Amino acid sequence: MTDFKKKVAIVTGGAQGIGGGIARQMASVGIKVLVADIDIDLADNTASEINSKGGDAFSVKTDVTSYSEVKEMINVAQNRWGRVDYFINNAYSAGSATIGGVTEVSESQWDMDMRALVTSVYAGSKYVIPVMTDGGGGSIVNISSVHGILVSKKALTYETGKAAIIAMTRQMAVDYGKFGIRVNSISPGHIVTERLGKRWENNPSGLKFFEDQYPVRRTGLPEDIGNAAVFLCSDEASFITGHNLVVDGGLSIQLQEDLAVQQGHYIKENPDTEMPYKK
């Protein structure tokens, strides 16, 4: 098994949600974790939680759309621990993306979302790869989404951005494998984060409807993505690079027609279900 005790990870958007789950799971196996987030108070809380359980974490305020702040984030990890072994490009939530199709999204909205979704991954990777190269290699994990392989209506920027992350992952894997750097992505399904958990508290029948669409009959937790990230960074995954690991409880493998029939049966049997989304 991989000895993580001397390894260092940076997790962007690591204060809560998927990033928080990744930070906690990495710390649980002994990895030193820099929790980078634009919300420094939440990042402080997550780092403190990790440290209280015997881990080694530090927090830093980082806007991943700022090249200078991304550079400083990496410098903080180097100055504190002397190395960066794992880099998790996670920061950006679906709730922040512009709603609309190509004729509805403004030029400024497109530029803003592409900077947050795609340029942030470019920037983090660009500045951490030389550090990893000097250290003999490392692992980059980019958080994409099932929305990067399947699309939802009126979600142009999010779907485009998440698909671009998968393509960028493959490109970097080809370019930097010779330096001992592996690059993979994770595409989560519906993950019940702190924010989504509050929504579902007010609509338990909607959550049950959602869960029933998954072959495993549950939605995901941040720790599910954390476990996947730890695996991709481990020596056990040393022959895996350029791969997009779908962690969605089997949601995306289902034939749409069968899923629609299943949904119809569920609603017929549970007529009081409050539908999760209304568009």
Active site residues: 158
d(CA 269, CA 92): 37
